Structure 1
Amino acid sequence: MWKVVLVEDETFVRESVKEIIRWEELGFALAGEASNGEEALELIRREPPDLVLCDIVMPKMDGLELLKETRKAGIASKFVMLTCIGDFESVRQAMEYGASNYILKLSMSVKDLRETLGKISEELCAAKPATPPAREIERGPDVLADRIAHPEVKKIIRYIEHNYDQEISLASLARHVMMGENYVSALFKKKTGETLIHYLHRIRIEKAIEYLRSTDLPVSQIGQNVGFMNDNYFIKIFKRMTGTTPSQFRQSR
């Protein structure tokens, strides 16, 4: 999961951004938030995030100065600037200092945020060293379920094992065990060492590997068979977890 710090002095905007995006489904986790640049800089220095989603105009320290100070500290976090119409000179300077993108707050939509986060995720994946070969990620759900004592976590693991090919979300898993989404997410991570979305992806990729080894089904069909309705997303997650694309994996076998 890519870690995000959200920096915005307007409470309404900050809360809206937090609520309108299903962060985990896009591979991101909110690691912290701040209402001004000074607070944010402390967070970033203490535990550098992968992405800073940052307003430009803020009290104490604005977004542009925060970006500059972050770079002075040798921290390479991606920056996406939230801006209002008329701030384009600040945006231009931010891009010069390495900001990846900007979003207009007045016209910001779920689509804008999802597209921007998708682009950032691709950039982060491209910069990340290749992960271990697929054979090294194969540790079945039964092994994990056997060593987990917590009944609700075990129930989630079994549910994913039997329904990985269906649409699964944090909300649906929370309903399955009749717990709150935030609690379930934190509990699963504490008991297994993995986030729910990472575990779901891992199980789906393991199942995809079985198909690639034992069938001649097209890659797109395999992706659908294991629960990925989008071919590009399937290929991206497969490569993130195995270091190779499904087609390359099949050819190597």
Structure 2
Amino acid sequence: MATLWRALIVEDEQPARASMRKLFLKAAIPFEIVGEAGDGREALAMIRELRPDVVISDIDMPVMDGVKLLKAAREEGFDCRFVMLTAMSEFEYARQALEHGATGYLLKLSLDLQGLRETMDKVARELEQREKLRKVDKWFPDESRAEPTDHPEMNRIIGYIEEHYAQEITLKGLAEFIRMDASYVSDLFKKKTGSTLTHYIQNRRIRAAKMLLAETDRTIGDIGHQVGFENDNYFIKVFKRWCEMTPNEYRKQAEK
């Protein structure tokens, strides 16, 4: 049975919320609408209470707009996916939302079943990947949570790596994420964590790979790609450097 993901609709106009509900039903997608909110402040309270997997949020709303809602949810540590509802005139805000981690956006005036299905299929894939990677935290309970530093922006970087380590992560991208100079970020991260960014990301990926090697029958190449290594040979080289054995040797040892 397919997973049924929990969705929260955030839209200040009731007819628009009703229309979204109808589209969800017609689209036959694996999402259940568990709540509705009329503005960002109300939505943030519902996120805390309902813990939805995805938030479908209008951008232009009273009290707290959709972009501010996304930022507030991330600051509080919620990793639900966000899809923004926008008019063409609000596209700059949609771009900002994407920069802060939104999965995508839907144009309200031209929203149809195909567009909804395509976007929500992408959300479902991200959620499935998130659940797979969360198993690492259960498998390595003592190692899965990074020790916080005394620097809030370095903690933001650590949180970003924890959530996105299977994706491409660059120093430039992390520096832009916290709006700091890349060279300064590199030096400060090592000072606060005792590890270079490269080693920190590699370590996170290798821990994920160890879980997948022990608990799944996926190929070495598939596992390397799933945890963020594009090249099989590089994955094996890095794994051996960290574990003093190859992925195959680790798998055989785990089986015993």
TM-score, normalising length: structure 2: 0.50
1:120 aligns with 2:94: no
How many angstroms apart in 2 are the aligned matches of 1:94 and 1:122? 19
The 2-side partners of 1:49 and 1:2 are apart by 8
Written as runs of structure 1 = structure 2, the 5 A alignment for 1:11-26 is: 11-22=14-25, 25-26=28-29
Matched-pair contact (CA < 8 Å) for 1:8–1:55: yes
Q: Report the equivalent of 1:89.
A: 92
1-structure distance, mates of 2:47, 2:112: 26
| Kept after mapping to 2: 8 A contact 1:23/1:29 | no
Identity %: 42
| 3-state DSSP of counterpart to 1:129 | helix
CA contact (8 A) 2:27 2:117 kept: no
Instruction: Write the deviation string for residues 170-195 of structure 1: whole angstroms up to 9, x where unpaired.
Output: xxxxxxxxxxxxxxxxxxxxxxxxxx
User: How far 1:110 moved relative to its partner?
Assistant: 1.2
CA contact (8 A) 2:26 2:113 kept: no
| Secondary structure class of the residue paired with 2:111 | coil
Deviation at 1:129, TM superposition (A): 2.3
**In the alignment, which of 65, 68, 78 is matched to residue 65 of structure 1?**
68
What does residue range 1-253 of structure 1 map to in structure 2 within 5 Å? 1-22=4-25, 25-129=28-132
Work out whether residues 86 and 108 of structure 2, in 8 Å CA contact, stay in contact via their aligned partners in 1: yes
- Seen in structure 2, the aligned counterparts of structure 1 residues 100 and 12 have a Cα distance that, compared at 3 Å, is same
Amino acid at match of 2:51: P
Extract unaligned runs of 5+ from structure 2. 136-215, 219-256
d(CA) in 1 for partners of 2:133, 2:95: 33
Q: Which runs of 4+ in 1 moved over 4 A?
A: none
Structure 1: gaps of 5 or more residues: 133-242, 246-253
SS in 1 for 2:122: helix
Could you tell me whether the CA contact under 8 Å between 1:7 and 1:54 is conserved in 2?
yes
Q: TM-score w.r.t. structure 1 length?
A: 0.50
Partner letter of residue 40 of structure 1?
Answer: A
